[in-house]
């Protein structure tokens, strides 16, 4: 056996050992690596026996003399080590009444796992990835066969899927594969990694004749990964489909179960496969030298574990890839690292005779790409399931790692000791400050400075000579009279006897019990307590003391606060000297998870090092972002989103992000020029297929337009009724809902204006009367425009000119609109109005093209038509809402909100109250969500399916509308409420079919994409006359004002 084969066999054994440790950790909930390794060792590698040891009723933590503390640093240990911390050392006890059942279930599970591994050589970790990959492919194929119509769907228009300029290309989620997109995009945007993948080209012999299972799996995967990366570089599509790469991964294993893949597990396995693939290439290209694997060079580093065990020192060097960090109990990344780098009693490291144990980790070699796994899941023993940790954890854009380097260990130890001393002193100061801020010995405590102030105010109050009780008794009325201010005696409370009541008297009244008036304080009693006996000398001395004491307390409090601030600042700057900022790592990517432990959605924030800005990669959506948005979504503590993986790169290693240059011309290579010839041809072929889609779409549209023109030319024009002839130049909104309706409405306004003009004008010529009538109509409409009516009376619906005036339309637009009103053919019913109509028509014909911009004129009238249409959507939606027809109401309110938002973007008075529409749209979704949840809880198959149809076809597609505007906190809170409602089912027992449906549905609900897809056709609107529209709008708005708005 060669040395290489021996090393490979040893490495494989170590990986299997790490897999067994991961299984033990997952089954038992125990995170202490020592305990797990000892149990595995005592059981001679038998997992079933190891679980029995760990879950036995009398199981104890192995004694220190029996445990080998430094077994975390076994020679040649797998690079995916679990680095422990002080925050996670408890052994989870899973014993209970059902211990036997639990152990039997575990035994069966482990027996099945071991048998599967013996038969196939495939580990459980690999099977887990296989399960999710098959689920992803199945979901993608099943989505093509769905029969239920989607409210939102990918537009068939290929132009909607066309890449804009040099915008980054997204990745399609082919079913629970958001984790794939987040990891692949993060790696793709490392230019050095991209170059390695694109230029991967093993010898033909390896491709033609794979020598083992790894080559049979890895080579096709690398081929598809190259194709995928090439499309991300040069595709003309907005996003590409990664199904081929996912299919290769799926084909590598055999499993049928489905679950959502964990990012860290996938990244581990992906780097494993990449390392194996590049190892093949490295071995083929070596020339008598030890082959170098670029994946190892890029992603793997080394650290030195230095420690003592019962006074005996040890040192071990280990390789690591992704570095795991505990989150719980820490506020920032440096605190996590400090805890991970120090274990046990570190004081013992400097003592030869100490019986305590401890160890430190020091980085000896950092990889160019340093990845931190943030452990945000813990096992809840009470509930028997994992839970996500939502605590806030801050991390910097630039991370200096000098303090963790082995070469700086001496100065770091000194600084750590100093920080420890400062923190101890800080604790003392904070305790002292707390005594000032929370003074007293009872359950309620107050700031001492306030206590002294209260005492001063009491002492300075005006003294009273009698007690409050005496004062009240002295104010009692004479015998025989009862007033409402007198506190009743016991006899009065029991009711006076007849002998006590004097004979009838005009001033006598029976006793009436009035608890509120009878307990009223007498007017001469002070409104606050005050000392009854105090001399001027006493008061002077007391005031002097209290003033002095208060000043002293204020000074002491201020000094303590300033000292605490100085210590915080000193600790903050402890590592800021020049010698400790020589190893900078820049944040390259943040992988974010939103949801709970069992389900959720992943996306990535990736830094564009050349444009110097953050980008958000959320499946097919790639958008510009900011550090502020990244902080909000990644730090945690806000909603259910938090960072799960941090990828830093060495800021001094520019080759990681450096563009390629042409060796001959020296020019920078961009886009397709960076691709090898075979990949360039592959991308060109795909772009040709997409261009063909565009051409076919254009041809289809052109054919439709030609057919419509042909149909229009063959359709005979019907003459308009004589009672309402159509005028060609009349705005289209006058034809909604019928031409005669609005003309009739405007006709009445015109006739009134003409009649009033005839009474005011002596000159009865048609032109003079028309001008006067237009002025009167203009004045009437101006008054309506300047009025401030209640919400139910919207004068903009009465006339377009009111809308124009409120939105400062040009005067020429308003004048032409009024001329058209008086030139309407409906005024031809008598000779007088007919003459005025003809004058108005002549005036219209005399208007020159350069006097009124007809395009602008039509634009204003089109906007008014949109406003009336939006009003109808809103009105019908609210009517359905009041009838509790929430499904019908939702679509109307969605269109009302979208149209209204577009109107308001042009001006404040161009639409309706946005908050009103937003509120009822939000309420519709919340009520439908509750209804769907109730159907799901029923357990009936038909009801459950109906509930999921409501969620998939109505609610889930609408969530991007609520998330797109980050300033709408109520909308974001509503989305969180709906998601939490469904996530609450994760810990509940339910039928397997319900669990399967929930697992399939939750990733869609938790998808945070804010990309709004195309609407289906809008709902049809009923036909309303202007009078009916105004009346119904007023009625619905009045009913809303009488109904509580649930928090509006």
Q: What is the pLDDT of residues 736-773, one digit of tens each?
A: 333 334 455 676 777 778 888 777 766 678 888 888 88
Is residue 499 very low, low, confident or very high in pLDDT (cuts 50, 70, 90)? very low
- Listing DSSP states for 29-77 in one string gives ----HHHHHHHHHHTTT-HHHHHHHHHSTT--PPPTTTS-GGGGG-TT-
Is residue 587 very low, low, confident or very high in pLDDT (cuts 50, 70, 90)? very high
pLDDT value for 284:
66
- Please state the separation of Cα 561 from the chain's center in Å: 37
* 485/1004: higher pLDDT: 1004
State the chain's maximal CA–CA distance in angstroms.
131
Question: Lowest-pLDDT range, 217-221, 726-730, 778-782?
Answer: 726-730
Report, as an integer, the average pLDDT of 563-588: 92
Report, as an integer, the average pLDDT of 655-667: 78
Could you say which of 593, 609, 799, 825 is catalytic?
A: 593
How much of the chain, in percent, has pLDDT values that exceed 90?
Answer: 22
Rounded CA-CA distance 376/330 in Å is 12
Report, as an integer, the average pLDDT of 26-42: 70
pLDDT of residue 910 exceeding 60? yes
* 716/404: higher pLDDT: 404
How much of the chain, in percent, has pLDDT values that exceed 70?
Answer: 68
pLDDT value for 475:
43
Sign of the Cα torsion 438, 442, 444, 447 reads negative
pLDDT of residue 649 exceeding 90? yes
Residues found in the chain: 1048
- Per-residue three-class SS string for 100-160: HHHHHHHHHHHHHHHHHHHHHCCCHHHHHHHHHHHHHHHHHHHHCCCCCCCCEECCCCHHH
Rounded CA-CA distance 582/401 in Å is 8
pLDDT value for 565:
94
Between the CA atoms of 206, 136, 275 and 322, what dihedral angle is there, to the nearest 10 degrees?
180
Q: What is the pLDDT of residues 428-445, one digit of tens each?
A: 999 999 999 999 887 888
SS3 call for 171: strand
Rounded CA-CA distance 533/681 in Å is 103
Rounded CA-CA distance 332/391 in Å is 10
Rounded CA-CA distance 732/726 in Å is 11
pLDDT of residue 503 exceeding 50? no
Rounded CA-CA distance 274/849 in Å is 70
CB 981 within 8 A of CB 1006: no
pLDDT of residue 892 exceeding 80? yes
Q: Phi and psi of 365, rounded to 5°?
A: -150, 115
150: left (phi over 0), alpha (psi -120 to 50) or beta: beta
Give Rg (Cα) of the chain: 40
* 615/732: higher pLDDT: 615
pLDDT value for 46:
66
Q: How far is CA 575 from CA 79, 397, 587, in A?
A: 29, 16, 19
Question: Lowest-pLDDT range, 248-252, 348-352, 858-862, 1033-1037?
Answer: 348-352
- Average pLDDT across the chain, whole number: 75
Q: Give the pair of three-digit tokens for residue 432.
A: 């002292």
Q: To which residue do tokens 């602008």 refer?
A: 856
Using N-to-C axis directions, what is the helix angle for 766-786 and 831-846, rounded to 10°? Answer: 80
Which residues have C-beta within 8 Å of that of residue 746, sequence separation ≥ 6?
A: 734, 799, 821, 824, 826
Rounded CA-CA distance 387/720 in Å is 71
* 903/517: higher pLDDT: 903
Which residues have C-beta within 8 Å of that of residue 857, sequence separation ≥ 6?
A: 813, 816
- Please state the separation of Cα 436 from the chain's center in Å: 41
Could you say which of 178, 833, 924, 958 is catalytic?
A: 178
CB 927 within 8 A of CB 977: no
pLDDT value for 217:
74
Residue 601 falls in the annotated catalytic set: yes
Is residue 923 very low, low, confident or very high in pLDDT (cuts 50, 70, 90)? very high
User: Residue 951 has what DSSP assignment?
Assistant: I
pLDDT of residue 206 exceeding 60? no
Is residue 79 very low, low, confident or very high in pLDDT (cuts 50, 70, 90)? very low
Rounded CA-CA distance 661/582 in Å is 29
Residue 924's CB is within 10 A of a number of other CB atoms, namely: 26
Residue 68's CB is within 10 A of a number of other CB atoms, namely: 17
Could you say which of 588, 601, 880, 912 is catalytic?
A: 601
Q: To which residue do tokens 């279930």 refer?
A: 105
Q: What is the pLDDT of residues 860-879, one digit of tens each?
A: 999 998 999 999 999 999 99
pLDDT value for 447:
93
Residue 593 falls in the annotated catalytic set: yes
* 613/218: higher pLDDT: 613
Question: Lowest-pLDDT range, 26-40, 199-213, 776-790, 806-820?
Answer: 199-213
Report, as an integer, the average pLDDT of 264-285: 76
pLDDT value for 73:
36
Is residue 365 very low, low, confident or very high in pLDDT (cuts 50, 70, 90)? very high
DSSP strands (E only) in 707-753 = none
Report, as an integer, the average pLDDT of 299-305: 92
Q: How far is CA 638 from CA 196, 259, 335, in A?
A: 38, 26, 20
Q: Global pTM? A: 0.59
Which residues have C-beta within 8 Å of that of residue 489, sequence separation ≥ 6?
A: none
Question: Lowest-pLDDT range, 391-395, 416-420, 476-480?
Answer: 476-480
pLDDT of residue 348 exceeding 50? no
Is residue 480 very low, low, confident or very high in pLDDT (cuts 50, 70, 90)? very low
Highest mean pLDDT out of 295-299, 478-482, 506-510, 707-711: 295-299
Rounded CA-CA distance 373/325 in Å is 6
Question: Lowest-pLDDT range, 29-43, 730-744, 939-953, 980-994?
Answer: 730-744
Sign of the Cα torsion 962, 963, 967, 973 reads positive
Pairing mode, strands 369-375 and 323-326? parallel
Rounded CA-CA distance 234/609 in Å is 19
pLDDT of residue 128 exceeding 70? no
Residue 745's CB is within 10 A of a number of other CB atoms, namely: 18
pLDDT value for 47:
60
pLDDT of residue 69 exceeding 60? no
Residue 645 falls in the annotated catalytic set: no
pLDDT of residue 549 exceeding 90? yes
């Amino acid at each position: 056996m060669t040395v290489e084969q021996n090393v490979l066999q040893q490495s494989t054994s170590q990986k299997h050992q790490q897999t067994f440790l991961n299984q033990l950790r997952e089954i038992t909930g125990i995170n202490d690596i020592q305990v797990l390794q000892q149990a595995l060792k005592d059981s001679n590698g038998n997992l079933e026996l190891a679980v029995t040891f760990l879950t036995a009723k009398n199981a104890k933590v192995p004694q220190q003399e029996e445990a080998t503390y430094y077994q975390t640093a076994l020679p040649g240990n797998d690079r995916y080590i679990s680095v422990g911390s002080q925050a996670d050392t408890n052994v989870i006890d899973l014993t209970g009444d059902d211990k036997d059942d639990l152990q039997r279930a575990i035994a069966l599970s482990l027996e099945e796992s071991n048998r599967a591994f013996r038969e196939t050589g495939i580990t459980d970790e690999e099977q887990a990835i296989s399960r999710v990959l098959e689920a992803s492919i199945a979901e993608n194929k099943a989505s093509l066969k769905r029969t239920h119509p989607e409210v939102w769907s990918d537009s068939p228009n290929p132009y909607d899927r066309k890449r804009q300029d040099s915008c980054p290309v997204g990745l399609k989620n082919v079913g629970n594969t958001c984790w794939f997109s987040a990891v692949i995009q993060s790696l793709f945007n490392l230019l050095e990694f991209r170059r390695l993948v694109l230029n991967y080209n093993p010898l033909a012999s390896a491709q033609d004749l794979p020598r083992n299972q790894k080559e049979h799996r890895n080579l096709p995967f690398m081929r598809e990964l190259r194709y995928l990366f090439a499309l991300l570089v040069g595709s003309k599509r907005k996003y590409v489909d990664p199904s081929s790469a996912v299919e290769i991964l799926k084909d590598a294993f055999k499993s049928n179960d489905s679950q959502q893949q964990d990012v860290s597990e996938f990244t581990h396995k992906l780097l494993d496969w990449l390392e194996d693939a590049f190892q093949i290439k490295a071995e083929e290209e070596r020339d008598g030298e030890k082959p170098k694997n670029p994946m190892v060079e890029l992603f793997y580093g080394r650290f030195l574990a230095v420690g003592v065990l019962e006074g005996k020192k040890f040192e071990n060097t280990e390789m690591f890839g992704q570095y795991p960090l505990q989150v719980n109990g820490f506020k920032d990344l440096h605190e996590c690292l400090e805890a991970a780098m120090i274990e046990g009693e570190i004081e013992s490291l400097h003592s030869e005779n100490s019986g305590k144990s401890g160890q430190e980790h020091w980085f000896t070699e950092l990889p160019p790409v340093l990845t931190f796994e943030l452990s945000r899941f813990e096992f809840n023993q009470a509930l028997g399931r994992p839970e996500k940790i939502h605590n806030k954890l801050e991390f910097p854009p630039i991370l200096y790692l000098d303090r963790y380097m082995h070469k700086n260990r001496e100065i770091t130890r000194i600084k750590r000791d100093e920080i420890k001393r400062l923190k101890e002193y800080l604790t003392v100061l904070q305790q002292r400050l707390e005594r000032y801020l929370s003074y007293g010995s009872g359950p309620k405590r107050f700031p001492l400075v306030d206590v002294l102030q209260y005492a001063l105010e009491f002492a300075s109050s005006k003294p009273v000579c009698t007690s409050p009780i005496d004062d009240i008794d002295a104010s009692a009325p004479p015998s025989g009279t009862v007033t409402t201010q007198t506190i009743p005696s016991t006899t009065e409370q029991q009711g006076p006897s007849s002998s006590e009541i004097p004979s009838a008297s005009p001033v006598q009244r029976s006793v009436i019990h009035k608890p509120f008036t009878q307990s009223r304080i007498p007017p001469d009693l002070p409104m606050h307590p005050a000392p009854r006996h105090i001399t001027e000398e006493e008061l002077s001395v007391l005031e002097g003391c209290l003033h002095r004491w208060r000043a002293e307390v204020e000074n002491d409090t201020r000094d303590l606060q300033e000292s605490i601030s100085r210590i915080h600042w000193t600790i903050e700057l402890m590592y800021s000297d020049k010698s400790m900022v020589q190893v900078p790592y820049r944040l390259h990517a943040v992988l974010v998870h939103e949801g709970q432990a069992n389900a959720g959605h992943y996306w990535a924030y990736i830094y564009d090092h050349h444009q110097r800005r953050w980008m958000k990669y959320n499946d097919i959506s790639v958008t510009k972002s900011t550090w502020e948005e990244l902080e909000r979504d990644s730090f945690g503590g806000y909603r259910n989103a938090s960072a799960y993986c941090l990828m830093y790169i060495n800021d001094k290693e520019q080759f990681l992000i450096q563009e390629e240059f042409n060796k001959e011309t020296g020019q920078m290579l961009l886009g397709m020029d960076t691709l090898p010839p075979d990949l360039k041809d592959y991308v060109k072929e795909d772009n040709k297929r997409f261009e063909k889609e565009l051409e076919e779409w254009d041809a289809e549209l052109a054919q439709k337009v030609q057919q419509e023109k042909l149909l229009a030319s063959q359709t005979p024009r019907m003459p308009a009724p004589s009672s309402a002839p159509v005028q060609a130049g009349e705005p289209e909104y006058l034809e909604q809902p019928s031409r005669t309706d609005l003309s009739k409405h405007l006709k009445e306004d015109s006739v009134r204006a003409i009649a009033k003009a005839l009474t005011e004008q002596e000159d009865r010529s048609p032109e003079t009367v028309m001008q006067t009538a237009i002025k009167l109509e203009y004045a009437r409409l101006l008054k309506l425009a300047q009025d401030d009516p209640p919400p139910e009376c919207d004068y903009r619906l009465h006339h377009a000119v009111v809308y124009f005036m409120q939105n400062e339309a040009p005067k020429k637009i308003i004048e032409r609109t009024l001329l058209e009103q008086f030139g309407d053919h409906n005024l031809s019913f008598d000779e007088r109005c007919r003459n005025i109509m003809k004058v108005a028509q002549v005036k219209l014909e005399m208007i020159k093209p350069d006097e009124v911009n007809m395009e602008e004129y039509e634009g204003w009238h089109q906007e008014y038509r949109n406003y009336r249409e939006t009003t109808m959507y809103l009105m019908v939606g609210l009517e359905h809402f009041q009838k509790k027809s929430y499904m019908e109401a939702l679509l109307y309110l969605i269109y009302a909100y979208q149209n209204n938002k577009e109107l308001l973007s042009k001006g404040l008075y161009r639409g309706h109250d946005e908050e009103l529409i937003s509120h009822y749209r939000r309420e519709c979704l919340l009520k439908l969500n509750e209804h769907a949840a109730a159907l799901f809880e029923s357990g009936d198959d038909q009801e459950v399916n109906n509930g999921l149809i409501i969620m998939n076809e109505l609610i889930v597609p609408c969530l991007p509308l609520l998330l797109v505007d980050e300033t709408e906190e109520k909308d974001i809170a509503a989305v969180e409420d709906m998601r939490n409602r469904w996530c609450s089912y994760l810990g509940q027992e339910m039928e397997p079919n319900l669990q399967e449906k929930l697992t399939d549905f939750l990733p869609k609900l938790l998808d945070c994409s804010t990309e709004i897809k195309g609407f289906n056709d809008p709902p049809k609107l009923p036909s309303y006359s202007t009078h009916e529209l105004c009346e119904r709008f007023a009625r619905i708005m009045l009913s809303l004002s009488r109904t509580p708005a649930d928090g509006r």
